[in-house]
Structure 1
Amino acid sequence: MRSSPGFTLSLRRLLILLSGIGLLPLALLGLWSVHTSSQYQQREQDRAMLDVARALSSAVDAELDGSIATLASLARAPAIGAGDVAAFYDIARDQVKAQPEWLAIILTDAAGNILFRTTDPFGAPKGRITDPESLRQLLAVQRPLVGRVARGQRGRVAFPVRVPIRDEAGRLYALTAVIKPDRILAVVKRQQAPAGSIISVIDAFGAIVARSKDQDTRVTTAPGPRLAQLMREKGPEGAGDTVNLEGQRMSSAFTRVSRHGWTVAVSVPKAAIGAASLKGITLYGWGLAASLLACIGIASLLASRIARSFANLERGAAALGAGKPVGVPGSRIREVALMGQALDAAARQHAAHEDERSRLLASLEEALAASRDASRVKDEFLAVLGHELRNPLSPIVASLDLMDLRADGASVRERTIMRRQVNHLKRLVDDLLDVSRITSGKMQLELRPLNLAEVVRHAVTSRPGQPVALTAPGALWVEGDESRLVQVLNNLLSNAERFGDGATEVTLRAADAWAQLEVRDRGIGMAPELLARVFEPFYQAPQQVARVTGGLGLGLAIVRKIVELHGGRVSAHSDGPGTGSRFLVELPLAQAQAPLPLAATVQPSTARRVLLVDDNVDAAATTARILEQFGHEVDVAHSGAAALAACARMEPDVAVLDIGLPDMDGYTLAAAIRATGLAPRLVALTGYGQQSDIQRARDAGFDAHLTKPASLDALERAISGTVEAAS
């Protein structure tokens, strides 16, 4: 069966998909190129911003160095060298007037006490130092330094530049110039920075000294957290993404290579950096979309042409399947043209094959008809064979039964031999008919809860011949057909008797969910090649010409089929020739059932008037004598007409009818007896014993059906009314 293809695509969509897949590497390469270009531009932008920051840092250092140099020059005044602080005050005040961005000059002693501030008169109260930390640092290291930008006592923002001084007596002083941030802001504004950029100058203590945007509100405050984090992570200088104090995403570069520990940061809005990249991506996207549309158009045109060619091939294939002439138009697609030619060739071959097939079908129909006729003839032959073989067996068995009833002690040995051989012949006939049922699928079972242990014990103890060693539990229940399971055991025991040495062991046990019946002998055993085929019908081990063991090779094949119909399994085991054989039958266990009532022992019933109808004179005579031994009044007829006359004469209680009569069959005779108004019990005693024969007897109104040769118990039960039509 052809499997489902699952998800499918039209040719047009497939070609469009292939076009898209073909453009995908180009698109990825383009995006990678744009991305690489964007990264390059970002690096170039970062480098440019870093160059600006470095230049600004140098300019700021120059401004600070200039202030330090001015202070250092002032510190060399003779007045301070002579320790004349008042005279030095006048000199310092004149210096402040000469520096517009200087707010004041402050002189302190080595203890940090203010000696004068130029914004106050000499000798006025001195006040406090705004940035004492940088003053203590100066007095400790005695080198020029720049302090923290801060808002002073009068509310003005400034930062200190300090230099150490020693007079001729060796006394240490600190000379400080208080400078407004405007001086640094002027340096920032002189720098030609990118449009929209923000430049920040930050002192060594992390406070903003100058900022190109919002100077008045941002001075002395800390930079944005992202910029502060970037400066902590990158070391002396670096670049990265930040967010400014206004909340705008920026790309920033900074340097902290200033001699005074100050930092210069340059930030540019991200949009300004990405504009060129976005434009490039946009242009590339439009170009890619145009290419994709062109590919879709071309793919659609190609798909239409290919689809038309495929449609022509499809119509040609449909015509080929319908047995019509195939005509596929030419195509410029080479593969399609070759396929069209192949369809034409296939059409010619198909026509030739159809002709040949028609001839073969005609021959096959004739062969099937012949086979059906042969099968029907075979079934009829087997039915007639069973009837014809059982008919002579019936008087023989009846004669043996009469001899047994007479208890003639002188002929016990001969009767035993005859009984054994008759049973053997009856088994051969039953096996042959059972194989016919198996091959035609007509073997049926009547399953019911069954105590297999009881069945096995009864079969073993009632079997004539050599004794069998039996090991079985008290009860072991299965779902089975009792008669068929007895047949299985009898066939296995018969096989053990024929090929064993007289010591046969039967073991019944439960294993897991299975009932296991094992039959073991100590006989000739089996070779591996025989084990592989032992259950095949008609297969037998090589034997001597005398065929001492006998048999048709059907018993084990029947055993396997019956066991399989019970849902079980059977296997054969042997360690080789001379080691004996073991057959293991396994049947599924069933729930235990309440014990069935014991069948009453068959005893001769109340004397009845019995009409016995059989065209076999010997069978009729012997059976009549047996019935008379049971105390019945018996009248014998050998044809249907004679039987009807006897019915009118004696009005029988029971009529035992053979089916195969010379003038009418037993079914017709049964109907004729019923038509007379008499109501005797009707028993069919016939050589036809298949299931269909039993059912036909039931349909014809028979009360019981017996297969020749019938046992004494079965015959007496049928007459007494304890055996039904299906028996």
Structure 2
Amino acid sequence: MSDSDAVNRVQRAGTLVTEEFDARRRRAPDFAAENEALHGLAQTLNAADGVMLQTLVDTALKLCNAGSAGISLRERDASLPHTFRWVALSGHCADLVGHLLPPDNSPAGVTLQLGSPQLFAFPKRQFDCLAPITHEVTEELVVPVPGTPEPWGALWVMSYDEHLHFDSEHRRILTSLANFTCAALTIRQAKADAEARAEEAEAARNALAVVEAHQVDFIATLGHELRNPLGPIDSALAAAQKLAAGNPSVLSALALANRQVRQLKRLVSDLLDASRIRHGKLSVRHAYGLLGDIVKDAMAAVTDEAERRHQQLQVTLPEYPVTVFADAARLTQVVSNLLSNAVKYTPSGGEIRLRVDAPDPNTIPAHDSTPRDAIVTLRDNGMGIAPGMLPHVFDMFAQSPSARTRSDGGLGIGLSVVRYLVNAHRGEIAVVSEGEGNGTEVTVRLPIVCRSQLDHAAATTHGMSPARILLVDDNADATEALAMLLTLDGHEVRRAQSGPEALSIVESFTPDIALIDINMPGMDGHELARRLREHAQCSSTRLVALTGYAGTMPDSTAIESGFDHRLIKPPSLEDLAYVLRG
């Protein structure tokens, strides 16, 4: 039977019911569950193939609430051209791993013939290859696993419950997992090819470099997809906390949600920072500031968690103000990341000590511009680091076995980013531990201390004077949440979901700043920026390009389109304050 014959047969039989997706009510997304799944999947990228594929189908089974889940891959054996094999299964048919299916008369074959996700009703009645499944299958959702030059196969879930129907949200989740499967299989194949050419050392090194690039780029894509919903959630929570002032019970619930969102944001930020490092886009902005303010801001990020764990957190700062020339935000990220690791891996009641040593800037001769060293030393009596792991603590995605078992263990990216930022400040970082159970000591040496330029402590908040702001983004949830937060902070905000709508708004509203999404359908952000520059009333408007992908648009490209700045979505209030200050 040919592919087209199989498609026509199931269509005539009423087995192919993909159009029902549009008529079914879509369930609400569960981004927290997806982020947890991402965490688990990311940790399997370097595991054995069987572990990675099994984790994928287990994830599909759980997120889709299915009865069975599996991956059907094309056989590479020349004697079985295009035949499918069930290589990983979960649920009721888990004992059928290795089952072969024909290339045409099977759900995977029909799906790949049609080239898009398909929904089948009672597929066992039309496909003899499903006969080994003992249960009656009421529905099967099948999604192609893309590949080059041809698809790898298909990812599918089955329902045995006549009351459980798959909807478009299940299709979105399964499509995302299928894309992950493609990337993981591509990485696996690239690694296999590199190993096969082991005798050609240079070729093998190049192949592994390509694998790493695919991995980092793919994880950056996942980070972007997660950051899109996190932006409006974070803005909405901040707005809700302002609106709920005076209501302790509501504020308590919002505080719990906010802590979880902060954890999600940190994971996503680590993913995006990894991509920015890969593309050379993780930059630093040097300015004069006070070292004490940097440390205090970093402390504020971990104090609540340390108190919740009943840990003793001691900080020793110089008695005199220390002026530094550095990127305060990035150094705060360095110190808070180190403190967060110490809090995370120190048991309840443990001790964490942070000490900062630096020369008094007033003792530096006026004619001497050589930066002096600031030394940050952090000691804890936590779980420590095994000797074999110590040389790899700064490697991307490196984690000890004990860290992988923790629900808050992170993705193994943070210290790699920390080392990059320390090096960007021409500094050095060292990690010392006498082994597991014996605590850890981290020393950061930074040549950033300069002669005093400040007469008093710099403000640690990032407030903005009220401004007229135009938000342009086709994502309605993102603009609504950010607009609500900015309005509560005293700004006058207008929203547009397309370029033409934005041009209509500026006829009667002159913004001080316009935040414009680059990737909009129809009139994209580049064209809108050029059109706004043609309006006389927008001559002093600061145009800010918003992009969700780190490294995809050079700053020079944004400037050529008429933009003054470029920010990663979603922009923080600190980013906006920086832009308004010019």
Range class of TM-score, shorter chain: 0.5 to 0.7
Distance across 1 between alignment mates of 2:202 and 2:405: 44
Alignment match of 2:230 (pick from 374, 377, 393)? 393
| Residue matched to 2:426 | 567
Alignment match of 2:327 (pick from 466, 481, 497)? 481
Distance across 2 between alignment mates of 1:697 and 1:625: 27
Distance across 2 between alignment mates of 1:369 and 1:583: 34
User: Do the aligned residues in 2 keep the contact of 1:520 with 1:581 (CA within 8 Å)?
Assistant: yes
Distance across 1 between alignment mates of 2:432 and 2:315: 19
What's the secondary structure of 2:444's corresponding residue?
Answer: strand
Distance across 1 between alignment mates of 2:212 and 2:403: 33
User: Do the aligned residues in 2 keep the contact of 1:667 with 1:700 (CA within 8 Å)?
Assistant: yes
What's the secondary structure of 2:252's corresponding residue?
Answer: helix
Matched, 1:469 2:314: yes
Q: Which runs of 5+ in 1 are unaligned?
A: 1-359
The Cα offsets for residues 573-593 of structure 1, whole Å up to 9 and x where unpaired, read as: 223322221111122364323
Distance across 1 between alignment mates of 2:380 and 2:301: 19
Q: Partner amino acid for 1:501? A: P
| Residue matched to 2:152 | none
Alignment match of 1:509 (pick from 357, 371, 383)? 357
| Residue matched to 1:27 | none
Q: Which has the higher contact order (CA 8 A, sep 6+)?
A: 2
**How many Å apart are 1:604 and its aligned residue?**
6.4
Distance across 2 between alignment mates of 1:399 and 1:423: 13
| Residue matched to 1:492 | 338
What's the TM-score once normalised by structure 1's chain length?
0.44
Superposed counterparts of 1:113-128, under 5 Å: none
User: Do the aligned residues in 2 keep the contact of 1:658 with 1:686 (CA within 8 Å)?
Assistant: yes
The structure that is helix-richer by fraction is: 1
Superposed counterparts of 1:335-354, under 5 Å: none
Distance across 1 between alignment mates of 2:384 and 2:204: 43
The Cα offsets for residues 611-650 of structure 1, whole Å up to 9 and x where unpaired, read as: 3211111111112222332444433221222222333354
Alignment match of 1:452 (pick from 262, 270, 291)? 291
| Residue matched to 1:430 | 269
Q: Partner amino acid for 1:497? A: V
Distance across 2 between alignment mates of 1:669 and 1:434: 28
Superposed counterparts of 1:226-375, under 5 Å: none
From the superposition, tell whether residues 574 and 370 of structure 1 become closer, same or farther in structure 2 (CA, over 3 Å): closer
User: Do the aligned residues in 2 keep the contact of 1:682 with 1:701 (CA within 8 Å)?
Assistant: yes
Larger of the two Rg values belongs to structure: 1
**How many Å apart are 1:692 and its aligned residue?**
5.3
| Residue matched to 2:28 | none
What's the secondary structure of 1:678's corresponding residue?
Answer: helix
Matched, 1:412 2:251: yes
| Residue matched to 2:132 | none
**How many Å apart are 1:471 and its aligned residue?**
0.2
User: Do the aligned residues in 2 keep the contact of 1:387 with 1:686 (CA within 8 Å)?
Assistant: no
| Residue matched to 1:722 | 580
Matched, 1:524 2:361: no
User: Do the aligned residues in 1 keep the contact of 2:237 with 2:258 (CA within 8 Å)?
Assistant: yes
| Residue matched to 2:439 | 580
| Residue matched to 2:239 | 402
Alignment match of 1:646 (pick from 499, 505, 508)? 505
User: Do the aligned residues in 2 keep the contact of 1:615 with 1:639 (CA within 8 Å)?
Assistant: yes
| Residue matched to 1:707 | 568
Alignment match of 1:612 (pick from 471, 485, 499)? 471
**How many Å apart are 1:562 and its aligned residue?**
2.2
Distance across 2 between alignment mates of 1:440 and 1:707: 14
What's the secondary structure of 1:683's corresponding residue?
Answer: strand
Matched, 1:592 2:429: no
What's the TM-score once normalised by structure 2's chain length?
0.54
| Residue matched to 1:42 | none
| Greater shift in the superposed pair: 596-605 or 440-449 | 596-605
From the superposition, tell whether residues 606 and 442 of structure 1 become closer, same or farther in structure 2 (CA, over 3 Å): closer
CA RMSD after TM alignment: 3.6
From the superposition, tell whether residues 690 and 441 of structure 1 become closer, same or farther in structure 2 (CA, over 3 Å): closer
Identical aligned residues as a percent: 39
The Cα offsets for residues 401-457 of structure 1, whole Å up to 9 and x where unpaired, read as: 111211243222332232222222222222223333434555443445554333223
| Residue matched to 1:682 | 543
Q: Partner amino acid for 2:265? A: K
User: Do the aligned residues in 2 keep the contact of 1:683 with 1:704 (CA within 8 Å)?
Assistant: yes
From the superposition, tell whether residues 691 and 508 of structure 1 become closer, same or farther in structure 2 (CA, over 3 Å): farther
| Residue matched to 1:634 | 493
User: Do the aligned residues in 2 keep the contact of 1:451 with 1:475 (CA within 8 Å)?
Assistant: yes
The Cα offsets for residues 97-133 of structure 1, whole Å up to 9 and x where unpaired, read as: xxxxxxxxxxxxxxxxxxxxxxxxxxxxxxxxxxxxx
Distance across 1 between alignment mates of 2:418 and 2:227: 23
| Residue matched to 2:116 | none
Distance across 2 between alignment mates of 1:370 and 1:527: 31
Distance across 2 between alignment mates of 1:606 and 1:471: 38
From the superposition, tell whether residues 626 and 549 of structure 1 become closer, same or farther in structure 2 (CA, over 3 Å): closer
What's the secondary structure of 1:543's corresponding residue?
Answer: helix
Distance across 1 between alignment mates of 2:487 and 2:217: 35
In the alignment of these two chains, the number of paired residues is 359
Matched, 1:549 2:405: no
User: Do the aligned residues in 1 keep the contact of 2:422 with 2:446 (CA within 8 Å)?
Assistant: yes
From the superposition, tell whether residues 385 and 470 of structure 1 become closer, same or farther in structure 2 (CA, over 3 Å): same
| Residue matched to 1:266 | none
The Cα offsets for residues 179-230 of structure 1, whole Å up to 9 and x where unpaired, read as: xxxxxxxxxxxxxxxxxxxxxxxxxxxxxxxxxxxxxxxxxxxxxxxxxxxx
